Amino acid sequence: MAGHHLKVLAVFGTRPDAIKMAPVVLEFMKHPDKVRLVVAVTGQHREMLDQVLAAFEIKPDYDLAIMRDRQSLAGMTSRALEGLDPVIDEVKPDILLAQGDTTTTFVASLASFYHKVAFGHVEAGLRTDNKYNPFPEEMNRRLTAVLADLHFAPTTAAKDNLLAQGVPADRIFVTGNTVIDALLHVAAKDYVFEDERLQKAVSSGRKLILVTSHRRENWGEPMREICKAVKELVLAHPDVEVVFSLHKNPIVREVIVPELDSFERINLIEPPDYVPFVHLMKASHLILTDSGGVQEEGPALGKPVLVLRTTTERPEGVEAGNAKLVGTDRQKIVQEAGKLLLDSSEYDAMAKVANPYGDGFASERIVDAIFNHFGGKE
Ligand code: UD1
């Protein structure tokens, strides 16, 4: 029967890609009778990727280790492309899968095109319609959509974006976002923080504000504004404690650390592993973030999310009333967060559990659609 196995090559390399591909990988692994799954990681993120691989107990078959300190877009694009070439030659997959909008994902779609291998795009169809915002993600996902054969759209709005781009309807599958599969899997379990500082912050009795910021559009001045807003919030609200999860990127740290280091009730922490991070979100009162994934996770946990960006490709959370776009203006952030801290009706309106991004079964739908496409369904 080995000859009849469908061969799937899953490619990812950053923290968010790994979190969102892990449920798909694990779902395929339930069907060893039908599929041979090969995992290739680019290693675009070294430490942050390895954390997620460990959390989901996934062992990559190939690791391209492309990360460099202060890597340029062109450098990592070409290293990933050259690295994937021999892997595709060797594996000879029936289909290559990648998720989202990172450079790893775009390169995976390009590499599969060069090898005339089918490409499946997980989390397809997100758009801001602004070429440079987010940069380079908006173009990464548009270019990927041009090269993809199967499009797994998380929501109907994402499907509509793909239809508008001319993607045939029978190539689009609305599946929900796999980030919710991963989240529900992890959030249901009890957890005690091993990190003493986190345990202390979480049990301080204060309102915990969780902050993350890493986006290229926010590098420099906007990120400094975010830091100043965080300081102001802490000074104005004695019942608030901040946990700021620092991205590994040195360009991000150079701004944040000097602004916020050793400030009272502000904890700058290394990016926690995925499992503690989920429990940190669960323990928080309010989330300030420019991350895409956190915008999806917050609503599912019933946490208000203030989005530190001027655009979002994830309008569903805003429409559901769980998220608000506040940008990076210091005053605006202080004002919007202040409202939620002081006015319980404002807070309650945003702090309701909603699942605009998925029901936890996205990976099952994706795997089913792929089996169906290749006629492998029994
Ligand atoms: C990347 C993605 C972005 C995604 C983000 C999530 C691209 C172009 N950007 O941005 O879409 O939202 O990941 O985190 O694909 N670094 C480490 N260790 C790590 C990870 C990063 O040291 O584990 C440092 C390196 O110095 C690296 C830098 O961070 O040069 C930036 O990483 P890079 O992948 O270029 O961009 P991100 O900002 O992480």
Identify the pLDDT of residue 185.
85
97 in any annotated domain: yes
Measured over the CA atoms of residue 199, residue 350, residue 341 and residue 288, the dihedral's sign is: positive
Identify the pLDDT of residue 4.
73
Identify the pLDDT of residue 190.
86
CATH number for the domain including 96?
Answer: 3.40.50.2000
Residues 237 and 114 in one domain: no
> Phi, psi (5° rounding) for residue 377?
-70, 130
* Owning domain of residue 149: 6-176+360-373
Residues 42 and 152 in one domain: yes
Residues 233 and 98 in one domain: no
Helices (H), the chain: 15-28, 47-55, 73-91, 103-114, 137-147, 156-164, 178-187, 196-202, 221-236, 250-260, 274-283, 292-301, 315-319, 330-342, 344-350, 362-373
Residues 168 and 270 in one domain: no
Identify the pLDDT of residue 1.
42
248 in any annotated domain: yes
Identify the pLDDT of residue 188.
86
69 in any annotated domain: yes
182 in any annotated domain: no
Q: Which residues, judged by CB distance below 6 Å to any ligand atom, belong to the binding site of ligand 1?
A: 14-16, 44-48, 67, 69-71, 73, 101-103, 136-137, 214, 248-250
Q: How many angstroms does the Cα of residue 45 sit away from the middle of ligand 1? A: 6
Cβ atoms within 10 A of the Cβ of 6, count? 19
Helices (H), 193-308: 196-202, 221-236, 250-260, 274-283, 292-301
319 in any annotated domain: yes
Distance between CA 124 and CA 173 in Å, rounded? 9
Residue 293 · residue 179 · CB < 8 Å: yes
Query: What contacts 12, CB < 8 A, 6 or more positions away?
Result: 18, 21, 41, 42, 49, 98, 99, 104, 105
Residue ranges for the chain with pLDDT beneath 70: 1-3, 376-378
Residues 97 and 221 in one domain: no
Residues 118 and 213 in one domain: no
Q: How many angstroms does the Cα of residue 247 sit away from the middle of ligand 1? A: 8
Distance between CA 25 and CA 181 in Å, rounded? 12
Q: Tell me which residue has its CA closest to atom 36 in ligand 1.
A: 249
Atom of ligand 1 nearest to the CA of 70: 30
pLDDT (tens digit per residue) in 237-255: 999 999 999 999 999 999 9
Residues 201 and 149 in one domain: no
Q: Which residues are catalytic?
A: 101, 123, 137, 214, 216, 247
Residue 256 · residue 244 · CB < 8 Å: yes
Distance between CA 378 and CA 372 in Å, rounded? 9
Residues 158 and 256 in one domain: no
187 in any annotated domain: no
Q: Tell me which residue has its CA closest to atom 28 in ligand 1.
A: 249
Residues 144 and 200 in one domain: no
Cis peptide preceding 136, ω within 30 of 0: yes
Residues 13 and 156 in one domain: yes
283 in any annotated domain: yes
Q: Global pTM?
A: 0.96
Q: How many angstroms does the Cα of residue 136 sit away from the middle of ligand 1? A: 12
189 in any annotated domain: no
Residue 127 · residue 138 · CB < 8 Å: yes
Identify the pLDDT of residue 189.
86
Split into its structural domains, the chain has a count of 2
Identify the pLDDT of residue 3.
56
Residues 326 and 293 in one domain: yes
**What DSSP letter does each residue of 33-85 carry, written as one string?**
TTEEEEEEE--SSSHHHHHHHHHTT---SEE-----TT--HHHHHHHHHHHHH
Atom of ligand 1 nearest to the CA of 68: 30
Residues 172 and 315 in one domain: no
Closest CA to 19 of 358, 293, 283: 293
